[in-house]
Amino acid sequence: EAAVLIDDAGHLVARVGELAQRVAVAGSSFLDAPVSGGIAGASAGTLAFMVGGEAEDFERAKPLLGAMGSSITHCGPAGTGQAVKACNNMILAVHQIVLSEALVLGERLGLDPQAFFDVVSNATGNSWALSVNAPVPGLVEGSPANRDFEPGFASTLMLKDLGLAMEAAQQTGTETVLGRIAATQYAQFVEGGNGGK
């Protein structure tokens, strides 16, 4: 498990940083390279890699990662790939929640979900959560809503990443009001038996 730790300089690292040190002592190279894009991205070879580690090791690994993904970013030293993954998923969790709230509000105001999608996907409220992962069946091809919310990325995994983000926020003294709310709502959802959705 990737428990979040803070080093002496106040930099966010994960247990992965300890692994990187052990690997270096053994004379080898180490990169942490979490991904974003889910099953669809893996199938299409369009994953986004966020990579932590030494720059020269990143350059050596880049062709291999390029065979699986379309976005490969060196984020800094070992642990920073994990750090940006936690931050990215905190953003996604908040987006998914507020999008769902807005869709329900719009529906209760008499708005058809397709009209909502047509406007918001071309306006300032657009996001990946809407344009790729819209939580209403039929709006977006490939959305989990079209498969009874069977995951590419299960709620238990989002809750794990939110836990890492909240632990890091606490250890760095970072205020994350919406992140905390999202973590609470995902915990309630998972505890309600929906962890596989």
Stretches in the chain below the pLDDT threshold 70: 1-14
Return phi, psi of residue 69, to 5°: -140, 165
Q: Which of 167, 86, 83, 98 is nearest to 129 (CA)?
A: 98
Burial annotation 11-32 (CB, 10 A radius, 16+ → b, else e): ebbbebbeebeeeeeeeeebbb
In angstroms, the CA 6 to CA 142 distance is 38
- H/E stretch holding 49 reads strand 47-53
Tokens at residue 184, please? 């609470």
pLDDT of residue 10: 40
Query: Residue 31 carries which side chain, given as an amino acid letter?
Result: L
The whole model's pTM is what?
0.85
Catalytic residues: 85
Tokens at residue 96, please? 């998914």
pLDDT of residue 9: 42
